[in-house]
Amino acid sequence: MQKLTINAIIDKINNAEVFEAVADDYSFTIKIAAYVPYICTAIHDGHQFRKDLWENCKHTEYERWFEEDPETYTMIAHQPITIKGNDSRFEYDLNRSPDKAIYEDAWGKQLWHKPLTKAAKEKSLAKHKAFYSVIHALVKKTEALFGLAVVYDMHSYNWRRWDREVPTFNLGTAKIDNARFGNDVALWREMLASIKLPNNIKNTACINDVFKGNGYLLQFVAENFKNSLVLATEVKKIYCEELSAINYPEVVSAIADSLQELLPKHAESVLRNHTKQIN
């Protein structure tokens, strides 16, 4: 893995180079092992938290971990094109627009003892901006090569908050063109529902049940690229004990193995449905 500037990463994408790199500020990692029509992201997996923010933050490390999406990158790590956010969403949230990316409060609790300075906010927002410049370059290149890009935007959610049964997988589709991509969404839901999980874990997959797909990554791609599709895919935290921060690697592995088979099949189906060029 290389350490590269944002401009160097974008240059490599524009030149269709294969590479694996960490941004020179360590805010995210990107891997392109081959150019394919789909991209996998885990933008809330990160747990890094700038040291100059520690003393000012009211949330404990566990509280931050609880609201992050641990192991979502592990689930997609073997895919050809992956991007992982390394920084905690408590510093800046990549799934929120720049004007809302820095929390004042988080899940009912004030985040900071003292309001952040303008300089502290700008440092975080610069990383948010840089990340999306890379996303823009990558989706643009993928569309140029294949006519379309499918972005599988992986997240997880805390199911113990809910007082009803909630699905193992949830797809949020509020901001996508459902008239155009509805059949592709339905197929992805069907594929997710087919995943076999260990430990007798029941698997269900629903659309817009717990989250509606209002995240900024989906919005950004939809607004900038009319021929691409973002599938905001949430997995219930059945792969860990969220109250004690224990991960279940056998469950994570089962999901990863299934996605390794299902993701290219689904992406090929989307490409076949919407373009004449299949690579």
What are the domain boundaries of the chain? Answer: 2-274
Q: What is the dihedral of CA 24, 30, 34, 37, to 10 degrees?
A: -130
Chain segment 218-242, per-residue pLDDT in tens: 999 999 998 999 999 999 999 999 8
Nearby residues of 197 by Cβ (< 8 Å), 6 or more positions away: 168, 203, 238, 251, 254, 255
The per-residue pLDDT for 278 is: 39
* Distances 103 to 60, 107, 122, 212 between C-alpha atoms, Å: 15, 10, 13, 21
3-state secondary structure of 147: coil
As given in the structure block, the two tokens for residue 63 are 């509280």
User: Which spans in the chain are helix H?
Assistant: 6-14, 61-67, 72-76, 118-146, 178-193, 216-224, 249-274
Residue 138 buriedness (CB in 10 A; 0-12 / 13-18 / 19+): buried
Q: Cα(55)–Cα(82) distance, rounded to whole angstroms?
A: 33
Q: Which residues of 237-249 are buried (b: 16+ CB within 10 A; e: fewer)?
A: bbbbebeeeeebe
Given this structure, which CATH class describes domain 2-274? alpha beta
pTM, to two decimals: 0.94
CA distance 19 to 28: 14
pLDDT, mean of each 10-residue run, the chain (279 residues)? 97 98 97 97 95 91 91 97 96 95 85 92 96 98 96 94 92 93 96 96 95 93 94 96 91 97 96 70
Cβ–Cβ < 8 Å for 144, 16: no
**The token pair that represents 159 in the structure block:** 């199911």
Average pLDDT value for the chain:
94
Please state, as a whole number, how many other Cβ atoms lie within 10 Å of the Cβ of residue 7.
Answer: 11
